[in-house]
Structure 1
């Protein structure tokens, strides 16, 4: 006779914590993540090369003015806004893996074509096409992640890919030093062409993905005939009902998701603080040397590589995602105030203060991204995963467009008061996201679903 009670003489065996290499091996054992990591590692090296030399290529080689270069980059971002939704929308209708591959190849070829740009118009056209195809590919890739992983693995996959992206861009920036050191038009053009081709060839591992990451096939409205040749009314009604349900599941009808996307886009302007606000503040309002901008970039990249994956654990849970986002909001408020306090300080004191703010800012970035990924997946309708991820990506693109204007109008123009206002905006957006997550978790609990 077997007792149903556990034996009292059994000693629980502690499972040893896996090391870094073991965790990497586990991640790469997943065929979907392995293909995405391989594609990201190669293509983002090319993107890193391009990012490092783009502005100087425009101004020093092609001869564009600073204003013209800004217009070119803004046009690229603007095309990305439309393409972000379109890529996700199409990924619900056709093969997401084939679309991602095709769009990334096209985006890479457009980057390579920059080497042949010779004036404002050609640079504008190529930048617009490159931004359009890159954003299409990004949204289609997000749909692959939404369908290719279980709930608790999606955010982890995004975190791993972001870590790989940061490392690859850093490596690419190192390669870009070749063109920067030589300084000749030929060197710039060769490096840019090579970077674009690297982006295109980097998409090849995506072909290893299976049809499991694609959207399920949908019924098509065509004349459905019975064996006697008459229309099958019942089957036609079933297809029409499916189409109606499909439209009803549109993210544009989901007010909660749209509000979350808007608030995430507002918080996403923190990238504009790092890219525009901090460099301008350092050079215009503090005694810190300009090289500190590069130091901050290195610190940011290092911390993201180390902490993004650990910080993303558990954020598939709505409550956890909301909580880490709220913490990120408080960190951004602190970072903005500390950035402002660096004005007028002695050089070394200003450097220390700015670095402290940059560290708080980076952890706010890490936590906000983890929370946003979790909510973007868990609040989405799985049937329309591509469209939902497209709307989410479009929100971030809009935030990126608005960031330079908002940051300049607050922090750079108003000084301490502007930094406080900007920090308050980030905290308010984070608090709104936290409230949405909290209510969604409560609703899920009442309905009997896991949160």
Structure 2
């Protein structure tokens, strides 16, 4: 892992008492040993990776709060269907509505993070999301479930956009991508733990167990507020770029004209006037549908179209989590560089296209062969996910205007919300409707969007490297 550095401590501070021992060891060690660079232990590397105080706060809050997210993801659908008694189509409406609200909320969260305290916004949105999760326990019909679902989806996406704005301001260059990778790794670990806790409700199968765990999920979010409250004020937005004061003929300031000029200056930094960033968001949104493929298309394909046992669905999810936890941080290293971000995005495109074709090849094979093929596809899929996230984070930070970091990150987060909302429809019209041919269509779509991201990064790197003519 790449350590986060601070001016006070550097990348790997050494305690004074350890320095004396190190000097003595250097005097008695052979020359080749003295020339070799020292290697930090595993604990030291893990500690150094969260040495930055802002990152440490975000990591601790994520560890606490995302356990609740894991519980929520495990029990919600079954709670609606088995306990509340909603038919499948009404559950689908609730989930789609939550995603739809999340699209707008992502924009709102990023926009507000440029205009008010991002710390307070994150605390507010996280608190409201936690209260919403508790509210699920009291949803007894379709209307109440819809209202609570939209609230949870909206406040959750607004909190995510605000968190991205905080990361964009609190870190620079590689440290930003590193922070995002560490947080994603921690998120996966916490969600996995929450999934294990959620299994308690599945095992007991009673309404009381489901409701108790939904309340626990909300309280976990609220507990994370204690840690988030320690975020420093430096993560808040700086003052807006103001235009020069407009003077009247008498030399006094025209306040109305000055405000209008300031608004024009702000609009000049808008992501909506940045076609390159909008195209990056579109490509990332399309590629982001790979999450829907893993959550919906793959389980249905395994259960309905292959001879592999259904328990393989759980094994594939566990395999994905292991790959993310082990490789997200190291494979994200260096993706603050535009060229590297483009290269990893291209590799992700080819891996995801290959994964789709390999998934398709599992149909009609003997059980043991189908298992091997699906596991191979799942590995390619998992590494495509890790690399696409790393490249997308680097580009979303480096190509954004730092003056409007929150608004830019809100637009980028909106893209993922749109992709998540569209994924079920895309899966239904491809793999579910067309079978093997549908997987071929998905392979083409992912390859085109991933290579589109690569092309954007490559052109941006060339523009950045071009000499300025005088």
Contact 2:71 2:191 in 1 (8 A): yes
Question: Does 1:133 pair with 2:155?
Answer: yes
TM alignment of 1:28-427, pairs within 5 A: 28-218=50-240, 232-233=252-253, 240-427=260-447
Cα distance in 2 for partners of 1:28, 1:437 equals 28
Task: Report the alpha carbon displacement of residue 210 of structure 1 after superposing the two structures with TM.
Answer: 1.1
Task: Report the alpha carbon displacement of residue 256 of structure 1 after superposing the two structures with TM.
Answer: 0.3
Gaps of 5+ in 2: 1-30
Task: Report the alpha carbon displacement of residue 284 of structure 1 after superposing the two structures with TM.
Answer: 1.1
Task: Specify the SS of the correspondent of 1:314.
Answer: coil
Task: Specify the SS of the correspondent of 2:321.
Answer: helix
Cα distance in 1 for partners of 2:252, 2:174 equals 43
Contact 1:224 1:231 in 2 (8 A): no
Task: Specify the SS of the correspondent of 1:202.
Answer: helix
**Which TM-score applies when normalising by structure 1?**
0.93
Give the CA RMSD over aligned residues: 2.2
Q: How many residues align?
A: 437
The match for 1:4 is none
Cα distance in 1 for partners of 2:58, 2:421 equals 27
**Could you report, residue by residue, the CA deviation over 1:341-373 in whole angstroms, capped at 9, with x for unpaired residues?**
000001111011001000000000000000000
Task: Report the alpha carbon displacement of residue 243 of structure 1 after superposing the two structures with TM.
Answer: 2.9
Cα distance in 2 for partners of 1:432, 1:317 equals 17
**Could you report, residue by residue, the CA deviation over 1:360-388 in whole angstroms, capped at 9, with x for unpaired residues?**
00000000000000000000000000000
Cα distance in 2 for partners of 1:113, 1:10 equals 64
Contact 1:219 1:239 in 2 (8 A): no
Contact 1:268 1:396 in 2 (8 A): yes
The match for 1:13 is 35
Cα distance in 2 for partners of 1:234, 1:67 equals 58
Task: Report the alpha carbon displacement of residue 233 of structure 1 after superposing the two structures with TM.
Answer: 2.7
Contact 1:105 1:201 in 2 (8 A): no
Question: Does 1:438 pair with 2:438?
Answer: no
Cα distance in 2 for partners of 1:332, 1:317 equals 22
Contact 1:269 1:403 in 2 (8 A): yes
Shift of the 238–24 alpha-carbon distance from structure 1 to 2, 3 Å rule, reads farther
Task: Specify the SS of the correspondent of 1:208.
Answer: coil
Contact 2:242 2:265 in 1 (8 A): no
Cα distance in 2 for partners of 1:447, 1:241 equals 32
Task: Report the alpha carbon displacement of residue 15 of structure 1 after superposing the two structures with TM.
Answer: 2.2
Task: Specify the SS of the correspondent of 2:36.
Answer: coil
Task: Specify the SS of the correspondent of 1:59.
Answer: helix
The match for 2:6 is none
Contact 1:335 1:357 in 2 (8 A): yes
Shift of the 17–236 alpha-carbon distance from structure 1 to 2, 3 Å rule, reads farther
Cα distance in 2 for partners of 1:396, 1:365 equals 13
Cα distance in 2 for partners of 1:281, 1:63 equals 26
Task: Report the alpha carbon displacement of residue 62 of structure 1 after superposing the two structures with TM.
Answer: 0.4
